[in-house]
Amino acid sequence: MSLDVQHLVVAYRTLRGDVRAVDDVSFSVADGEIMGLAGESGCGKSTLGNSLVRLDGRMRVLAGRVLLDGTELPLSDWDAMDEFRFKKISLVPQYSMSALNPTRRIGKMISEVVRSRKIRYKDVLPELERRLRLVGLPTDVLA
């Protein structure tokens, strides 16, 4: 899977107007390649990642294109991104402890995501169990 980001400009909506957080960023990641992103706090690393999956409704993509395996992602259309978001492109947050509550069972968290996609949990349970076994995790975490 390849990713090609071309001249991406992203801003946050504020009461005083748009504030640019990503300004003319371009890069490519080829299939099988790993890319790291480093920078000072507040320089736009998280905004760049979030803009690729459109996780924050306050942000606006002002310019640029993002191609995933040659297909342009519809970054300016929140609903159209549902075809790609968490199916073909995802994001692991910088502070995953903020996103994954360690006091809740993983099965509960997964079931909420599955239900939000209008899929019955019991229909995907066998596949979830298979994937947990693949990585050596016990399946009882899904209960």
Residues 50 and 12 in one domain: yes
DSSP state of 100: S
| SS3 state of residue 83 | helix
Q: Return d(Cα 45, Cα 39) in angstroms, integer.
A: 7
Please report whether residue 90 resides in a domain: no
Quote the domain boundaries for residue 44: 3-75
What's the domain count of the chain?
A: 2
| Residue where one domain finishes, among candidates 16, 41, 75 | 75
Which segments in the chain show pLDDT lower than 50? Answer: none
pLDDT of residue 116: 72
pLDDT of residue 19: 92
Residues 104 and 49 in one domain: no
Please report whether residue 107 resides in a domain: yes
Would you say 48 and 37 are in contact if contact means Cβ atoms under 8 Å apart?
Answer: yes
CA 10 to chain centre: 16
Residues 56 and 17 in one domain: yes
Kindly report whether the global pTM for this prediction surpasses the value 0.75.
Answer: no
pLDDT of residue 37: 86
Residues 71 and 113 in one domain: no
pLDDT of residue 96: 61
pLDDT of residue 138: 87
Residues 69 and 13 in one domain: yes
CA angle 123, 126, 127 (to 5 degrees): 95
Amino acid identity of residue 59, one-letter, is M
DSSP state of 56: -
Residue that has been written with the tokens 């492109």 in this structure: 89
Q: Return d(Cα 70, Cα 94) in angstroms, integer.
A: 27
pLDDT of residue 85: 85
